[in-house]
């Protein structure tokens, strides 16, 4: 078949897969100049008139199935004795490959994948189509996280007598009892097979195993469903019950439709106490498809997402659903988000987009792989590293203040670290967006994070840039000592210490801190805002002076292409000499030189 042109349109290049009913080839649509998948029915089945007729009837029906969770049928027919279906070519890994390479999945990821499969089945159910062969090998997961079901309806024309010989009806591990007995099946059979697939995602193995296909089928018919927690103790009871219902022997006792199953998955994933939806993996907000949850705080959940039109990964922060119940939130969100999106600074995390869908507000930001500053803490950092990072954040904060924007939530988890040395300050204005709707939390504190909150913010008073300076001073304390200055059993007790307790002397916690640097911390964290630095630039000048007094070299920023590198003042002079000696090296060479100097 390699090299053959089907229907004068599809040139076959390579065989990429084979099953008991067909062979799949990589082909090129010569008319549209695009890569496609060409499924050719095995010759011994194509020769059976009844099978061929049912296959073509099924292909015609499937060509009208319009679902983002099903591999699309682009064409079908018969050419010189060859029955074929042309499918969209999907890049990614099958769920079988994912389970083989990654092992069992986390509960939320497994449920989110199952939800997308159920969505595809719901679309098929609306069209009157039953898949009959749901299993990990027939589930494709794109790099963006989108799930697509393959091989819809192909098993329909198979003869049950071939079950144990060829597996025409699918692998015995995933067969529903009624399918194994040769009875008429409906969408509830697919729900059973999806339940088996979900069981395997959660435990790394199917529920029934034996040394022969017939023995596996007998277990489907006769044995109770094994408990998930026999294989993985941490699986919640609600998930256990959901899978158990999918796998009921009697179809009447299962979820009756995929929509019912989707609702049950949503209920199992639930909503956090803050009202933030956690069922978004696999779904789309604006142009972004959510891939995985990468962060969660009291006021938002952050997802890694794929922005299809621009072919890039982004971070999407989703705000609590309850905020939409405030009639003024939409206007306030639009106003604040526009102001934040206009911020343009090398050390401020760029905001690409924002919007609202239903009750959810979201912000699309640059995706940074390096983690947060919080992950670097727990022990004192070197003084030169601290000064570098604080100077970057301070410069970003000073710029924002000049634009009239107060951060209100300066803390290590809001500082993203690219390559461990380039800092991005994130979440500008988030507390302001939400503060008017939920001014007081359950503890009675103002919006923010207690460990880093200024006294005036803790009391719910109006704040200005000096509140951010206080929080930056607390963060400086933590970076140099490895701990926050105030700790207590409750958030409210922490706030009381911010209001009344003197700040522990940093040098008593870490004697290696230079005295001039300690003085910077003490002034930045003064209880009264008028006693602090009045501008961030004042604090940064004082910190840089203190560092120079200690003997640390001055730092300079240089722009190399799309990146900015920080080098010592002395090394910058050496870099200039090298450039003059080499008469203008190219960009790649410059970057290598900078890295060698460091």
Sequence-ordered list of residues with C-beta below 8 angstroms from that of 201, at least 6 positions apart, any chain: 95, 99, 104, 105, 109, 110, 113, 114, 136
Query: 276 with 320: CB under 8 angstroms?
Result: yes
φ, ψ (nearest 5 deg) of residue 206 = -70, 160
| Phi and psi, residue 474, nearest 5° | -65, -40
206: left (phi over 0), alpha (psi -120 to 50) or beta: beta
In the residue annotation, 409 being an active-site residue is answered as yes
Find residue 141's DSSP bridge partners. Answer: 93, 147
CA distance 77 to 85: 7
Residues 229 and 523: their CA atoms lie apart, in Å, by 55
Contacts (Cβ under 8 Å, ≥6 apart) of 332: 433, 436
Start-end of H helices in 438-586: 455-458, 465-481, 491-500, 506-509, 515-524, 536-550, 569-581
Q: What residues have CB less than 8 Å from 386, skipping those under 6 apart?
A: 476, 479, 480
Query: Tokens standing for 477?
Result: 């304390």
- The string of DSSP codes covering 368-395 is -TT-BGGGG-SSPPPHHHHHHHHHHHHH
Angle at 524 between CA 520 and CA 526, to 5 degrees: 120
The residue assigned the tokens 């963006």 is 144
Q: What is the DSSP letter of 437?
A: T
What would the two tokens of residue 510 be?
Answer: 């870490």
Tell me if 307 sits within 8 A of 146, measured CB to CB.
no
Q: Which residue has the tokens 């010759």?
A: 43
Q: Which of these is catalytic: 388, 409, 427, 468? A: 409
In contact, 16 and 3? CB cutoff 8 Å: no
* Main-chain dihedrals φ then ψ at residue 325, nearest 5 degrees: -75, -15
357 membership: H or E segment, kind and range: strand 351-357
Relative orientation angle of helices 258-269 and 187-203, to the nearest 10 degrees: 30
Q: What are the two backbone dihedrals, phi and then psi, of residue 302, each rounded to the nearest 5 degrees? A: -110, 135
In whole angstroms, give the CA distance from residue 432 to residue 335: 11
Annotated catalytic residues are 409
């Amino acid at each position: 078949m390699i090299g053959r042109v089907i229907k004068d349109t599809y040139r076959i290049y390579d065989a990429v897969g084979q099953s008991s009913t067909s062979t799949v080839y990589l082909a090129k649509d010569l008319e549209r100049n695009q890569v496609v998948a060409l499924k050719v029915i095995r010759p011994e089945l194509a020769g059976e008139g009844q099978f061929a007729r049912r296959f073509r009837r099924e292909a015609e029906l499937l060509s009208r199935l319009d679902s983002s969770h099903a591999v699309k049928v682009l064409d079908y027919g018969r050419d010189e004795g060859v029955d074929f279906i042309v499918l969209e070519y999907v890049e990614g890994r099958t769920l079988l490959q994912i389970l083989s390479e990654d092992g069992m999945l986390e509960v939320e990821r497994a449920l989110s994948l199952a939800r997308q499969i159920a969505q595809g089945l719901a679309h098929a159910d609306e069209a009157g189509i039953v898949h009959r062969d749901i299993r990990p090998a027939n589930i494709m997961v794109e790099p963006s996280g989108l799930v697509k079901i393959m091989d819809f309806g192909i098993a329909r024309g198979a003869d049950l007598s071939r079950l144990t010989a060829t597996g025409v009806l699918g692998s015995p591990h995933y067969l529903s009892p009624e399918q194994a007995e040769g009875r008429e099946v409906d969408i509830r059979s697919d729900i059973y097979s999806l339940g088996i697939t979900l069981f395997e995602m959660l435990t790394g193995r199917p529920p029934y195993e034996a040394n022969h296909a017939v023995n596996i089928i007998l277990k489907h018919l006769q044995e109770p469903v094994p408990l998930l927690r026999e294989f993985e103790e941490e699986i919640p009871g609600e998930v256990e019950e959901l899978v158990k219902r999918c796998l009921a022997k009697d179809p009447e006792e299962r979820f009756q439709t995929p929509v019912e199953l989707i609702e049950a998955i949503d209920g199992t994933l639930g909503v956090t106490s803050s009202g933030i939806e956690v069922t978004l993996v696999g779904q789309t907000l604006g142009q972004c498809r959510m891939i995985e949850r990468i962060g969660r705080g009291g006021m938002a959940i952050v997802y890694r997402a794929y922005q299809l039109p621009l072919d890039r990964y982004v971070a999407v922060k989703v705000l609590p659903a309850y905020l939409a119940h405030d009639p003024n939130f939409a206007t306030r969100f639009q106003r604040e988000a526009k102001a934040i999106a206009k911020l343009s600074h090398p050390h401020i995390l760029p905001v690409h987009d924002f919007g609202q869908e239903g009750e959810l507000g979201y912000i699309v930001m640059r995706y940074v792989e390096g983690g947060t500053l919080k992950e670097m803490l727990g022990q004192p950092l070197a003084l030169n590293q601290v000064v570098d990072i604080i100077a970057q954040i301070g410069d970003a904060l000073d710029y924002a203040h000049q634009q009239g924007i107060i951060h209100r939530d300066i803390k290590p988890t809001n500082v993203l670290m690219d390559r461990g040395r380039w800092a991005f300050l994130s979440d500008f204005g988030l507390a302001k967006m939400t503060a008017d709707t939920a001014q007081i939390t359950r503890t009675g504190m103002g919006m923010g994070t207690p460990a880093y909150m200024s006294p005036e913010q803790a009391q719910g008073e109006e704040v200005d840039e000096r509140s951010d300076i206080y929080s930056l001073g607390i963060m400086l304390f933590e970076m140099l000592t490895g701990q926050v200055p105030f700790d207590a059993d409750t958030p409210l007790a922490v706030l009381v210490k911010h209001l009344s307790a003197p700040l522990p002397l940093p040098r008593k916690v870490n004697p290696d801190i230079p005295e001039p640097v300690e003085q910077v911390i003490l002034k930045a964290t003064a209880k009264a805002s008028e006693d602090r630095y009045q501008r961030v630039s004042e604090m940064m000048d004082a910190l840089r002076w203190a560092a120079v007094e200690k003997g640390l070299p001055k730092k300079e920023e240089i722009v190399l292409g799309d990146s900015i590198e920080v080098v010592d003042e002395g090394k910058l002079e050496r870099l200039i000499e090298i450039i003059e000696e080499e008469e203008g090296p190219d960009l790649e060479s410059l970057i290598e030189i900078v890295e060698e100097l460091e």
